[in-house]
Chain A
């Protein structure tokens, strides 16, 4: 049986009194890509925030390779091996590109082939040219590369990507997609959140679809690719074959 890298069981998350995630559960297998899809407001970011420790789930369990992480502080969860590329990128604008990366360095001893500063710049050569520049002055695409690099240099066991293609030009989206495939080929376990299914269905192995805070579909990607009804009902777009 494949190892479960990240597993959520019956997770309920609230913003104050507002109940957003209702009994969410799914499992990401090691070295696989799980696409988490759903319309705007479906609860995808809330789910990511619950995994990262920004929000403590009120019920349910979250485990990372069997270790419970639900309700731990974000820094502890990060140390255990979850890396986040948040929605909106959220790079540190007043730090240089280099500083954004070096402050996020960790877990080198825990990984077989750790990401280093130089390896990140090899992965994203356009960042190398701008290493001394303030991150806030980068283009949107470069900021996205930086956000991905910042997560990778922490050598995560599971990488969470929340809408990495949002607001980017098609050419840059293609580059992000290439990068994700490359990471997957390197054995990185990934949760990929997307509102639009094109990119995600291309690289994913498993798919979870959210609707109003509930998991309405869990299954292999093939079952989604050819299921226009499912896509139309929960994602609101027809996927071009």
Chain B
């Protein structure tokens, strides 16, 4: 294999890892705090991509970044709405949660199919980032570099929010011991809404940022969600650092697995997972459930 292959595939791995982080971080936080496996999360990502694609087509003045932020905000509102008016009603009923979040995901998929049709809608790479970047004599797709930077920026922002603010400490307290968090007067239901909005918003933004690579198409949700699930299982539920490292591990495993052994991509993806789960059920970075 030529050097260019390894370098490009590595960058592709990083880019996929960054996208997975945008999806998995919210999924992991929601699971960690609310104990809900939000199977609608992939649909949030896809919906974000469609919103972004539509906005970019409809308005000249909107660029990719504005579209990403706008989609993120729209998905935060939609996510908050679903949490308040649908998930809230389910209480602690795991079967109900699986059924409802999966059901909402199917409904969103069908709605997207009706509204946007069956053909992929491309999301163009911003003009300024179309030319490759030359580093050390190799050509790098510039947008992918920037995408990795965006994911890292989001990771840092989420980290600061969770680790350096009082709100973040409340969220972590809720992950540690929900009942005691309520007993010190913290309105847990408001925290749930905040975390759900945040997770849905970051996923929606991820859909747009991933657009120049993936575009918006029916089935994008189903392609992304299993990868995010694996990331969270690998990284440990409710751990931001785990989601970050897990995303890049899966980004590399999936990209190189599909490039080198296309027939075995899923074996390469799932085998390490099964081994890890067998020996560390809480994931690499998760704490053992109490």
Contacts and interface: CB of A to CB of B under 8 A. Distances in A.
Interface of A: 52-54, 73-75, 77-79, 84, 86, 90, 92-95, 99-100, 102-104, 106-107, 150-151, 154
Nearest to A84: B183
Contacts of A99: 166, 169, 172-173
Lowest 4 CB-CB distances: which A-B pairs, in order? A78-B185, A74-B182, A104-B184, A99-B169
Contacts of A95: 169, 172-173, 176
B174 to A, nearest CB: 9
B282 to A, nearest CB: 13
A74 B182 CA distance: 6
A38 B141 CA distance: 72
Nearest to B287: A94
Scoring A73, A75, A90, A150 by chain B CB atoms within 10 A of each residue's CB, the highest score goes to A75
B32 to A, nearest CB: 11
Interface of B: 166, 169-170, 172-173, 175-177, 179-188, 287
22 contacts: A52-B183, A53-B183, A77-B183, A78-B183, A78-B184, A79-B185, A84-B180, A84-B183, A84-B184, A92-B172, A92-B177, A93-B176, A94-B287, A95-B169, A95-B172, A95-B173, A103-B166, A103-B169, A103-B184, A103-B186, A106-B184, A154-B184
A54 B183 CA distance: 8
Contacts of A52: 183
Given A75-B186, A84-B180, 17 more contacts: A53-B182, A74-B182, A74-B183, A75-B185, A84-B183, A90-B177, A90-B180, A92-B176, A92-B180, A92-B181, A94-B176, A95-B169, A95-B172, A100-B173, A102-B166, A103-B184, A150-B184
Contact of A94 (B175, B179, B180): B175
Contacts of A74: 179, 182-183
A151 B186 CA distance: 13
A223 B169 CA distance: 46
B290 to A, nearest CB: 9
Contacts of B172: 92, 94-95, 99
Nearest to B170: A103
Nearest to B188: A75
A75 B182 contact: yes
A174 B188 CA distance: 36
Contact of A75 (B166, B187, B287): B187
A79 B188 CA distance: 13
A220 B166 CA distance: 43
A102 B169 contact: yes
A20 B164 CA distance: 43
A149 to B, nearest CB: 11
Nearest to A74: B182
A73 B189 CA distance: 11
